Amino acid sequence: MKLGIIGLPSSGKTTIFNALTLGNAPTGQSMGGRFDVLTAVVDVRDPRVDVLSRMFNPKKTTYARITYTDVAGLQKSDDDAGGLSPQLLNHLSGIEGFVHVVRAFENASVPHPDGSVDPARDLAALDTEFLLNDLGTVERRIEKIQEGLKKGASKDKAAAQTELALFEQMNATLTDNRPLRVLDLTEEQLKGLRGYGLLTLKPKIVLINLGDDQPDPGLSYDRPGTILATIRGRLEMELAQLSAAGDEETLAMFMEEYGVTELSLDRVIRLSYDLMGLQSFFTVGEDEVRAWEVKRGATAVDAAGTIHTDLAKGFIRAEVVHYDDLVGLGGMAGARNVGKLRQEGKTYLVVDGDVLNIKFNL
């Protein structure tokens, strides 16, 4: 999973990036609209992996991972220029979802570019940039399809008309100032749209970036494919750096003082899984204990393909036991004795926490 951390200048994106990645990238530096990206791969710190690793004592333990990118260069368009640069668009198009940081904190040493702090205004501003970009893409595609139909250049007229209807529906949605996330599109339609880099189609977490002692401003943002949450960015970055340094005693003291029960890294990862509709399954053995991510509703064959395409091609069956049963019964032998270790076929729907052993033959 690859998520882009986006936001207007001085919103605290890099502070949030550091909090989520246990990093120490320089903050408070404006890129002046220049495209720049910081990238970090983060382990999904799932305590179930640690338990399984102690149980099987493997040579290697591998956590699932999330890639976060801190994307600079986003700002409101000028009347004369406008639009996002091709380089920036190319990067944003390759991201699966967004973490949209919205400034709500006051800080005289970091003045807001617009002269005042207004989270609703800033959230709407970047939404508008993405919406206008998508509208231009959709309008150009409609013109091209219509031109092809008029000239008889479309090899499959019925398919072209179906595509035209879809793009006209998207055009109407965007013109109505609504993101494409609100549309109930099929998996086949979504697959066909991947090459267009439509930004408002991507799910996103909106993080309202608060000051240390600032209350939740109560911003309303009820949209499909979106999760709204608050974060005390500067505080969370400092806590993350204590965690990275291994200073657990000081970390625990500050977390208690500020009423923090969970580091933002773990909380936002959980929100990211919810946003993308993902769940975890595990493979275990002497060589490796590993966590994998797969879409909710995925079958055993889908899970096999996540591990390796050959496992999906030659799939015979999956041995399945849930993590809770495996741990509660003391291991595979105990689970097998009471019938909790099962044989499942291709259509079995994987459940979060399943431990799978794929049987295959090529």
The DSSP symbol for 349 reads B
Whole domain around residue 323: which residue ranges?
A: 297-360
| Opening angle at CA 214, ends 26 and 100, nearest 5 | 50
Nearest CA to 357 out of 332, 338, 337 is that of: 332
The string of DSSP letters for 198-237 reads -GGGS-EEEEEE--TTPPP-------TTEEEEEE-HHHHH
Query: pLDDT tens digits, residue range 256-265?
Result: 988 888 888 8
Read off the pLDDT band of 109 (50, 70, 90).
confident
Number of compact structural domains in the chain = 1
The dihedral region occupied by 130, where left means phi > 0, alpha psi between -120 and 50, and beta the remainder, is alpha
Residue 57 domain-assigned? no
Which one is predicted more confidently, 214 or 166?
166
Q: For residue 84, is pLDDT > 90?
A: no
Q: For residue 78, is pLDDT > 70?
A: no
The DSSP symbol for 4 reads E
C-alpha dihedral (344, 347, 349, 350), degrees to nearest 10: 60
By the 8 A CB rule, do 275 and 30 touch? no
- The mean pLDDT of 198-213, rounded to a whole number, is 92
The DSSP symbol for 80 reads S
Rounded to an integer, what distance in angstroms lies between the CA atom of residue 43 and that of residue 67? 9
Residue 66 domain-assigned? no
Which one is predicted more confidently, 78 or 156?
156
Amino acid 27: pLDDT: 66
Q: For residue 121, is pLDDT > 80?
A: yes
Q: Find all residues with CB under 8 Å of 295, minimum gap 6, and list them.
A: 277, 278, 279, 302
Residue 352 domain-assigned? yes
Q: For residue 81, is pLDDT > 70?
A: no
Rounded to an integer, what distance in angstroms lies between the CA atom of residue 294 and that of residue 286? 23
Query: pLDDT tens digits, residue range 231-240?
Result: 998 998 988 8
Amino acid 21: pLDDT: 86
Amino acid 212: pLDDT: 85
Residue 199 domain-assigned? no
By the 8 A CB rule, do 342 and 294 touch? no
| Opening angle at CA 3, ends 30 and 124, nearest 5 | 60
By the 8 A CB rule, do 42 and 68 touch? yes
Q: Given the structure tokens 């409609």, which residue do they identify?
A: 142
Q: Of 31-40, 53-62, 63-72, 278-287, where does mean pLDDT reach its minimum?
A: 31-40
Read off the pLDDT band of 222 (50, 70, 90).
confident
- The mean pLDDT of 94-99, rounded to a whole number, is 91
Read off the pLDDT band of 38 (50, 70, 90).
confident
Maximum alpha-carbon separation in the chain:
73
Amino acid 183: pLDDT: 93
Q: Is 173 exposed, middle or buried (CB count within 10 Å of its CB: 0-12, 13-18, 19+)?
A: buried
Q: What is the CATH number of the domain that holds 329?
A: 3.10.20.30
Amino acid 76: pLDDT: 66
Query: pLDDT tens digits, residue range 340-359?
Result: 999 999 999 999 999 999 99
Residue 347 domain-assigned? yes
In this structure, how many other beta carbons lie within 10 angstroms of the beta carbon of residue 324? 11
Mean pLDDT across the chain: 89
The dihedral region occupied by 35, where left means phi > 0, alpha psi between -120 and 50, and beta the remainder, is beta
Amino acid 80: pLDDT: 46
Residue 268 domain-assigned? no
Residue 107 domain-assigned? no
In this structure, how many other beta carbons lie within 10 angstroms of the beta carbon of residue 289? 26
What does each C-alpha distance from 216 to 84, 86, 121, 269, 332 come to in angstroms?
31, 36, 16, 21, 47
Residue 334 domain-assigned? yes
Express as a percent the part of the chain with pLDDT over 70.
95
Express as a percent the part of the chain with pLDDT over 90.
60
C-alpha dihedral (82, 85, 86, 91), degrees to nearest 10: -130
pTM: 0.86
- The mean pLDDT of 25-45, rounded to a whole number, is 72
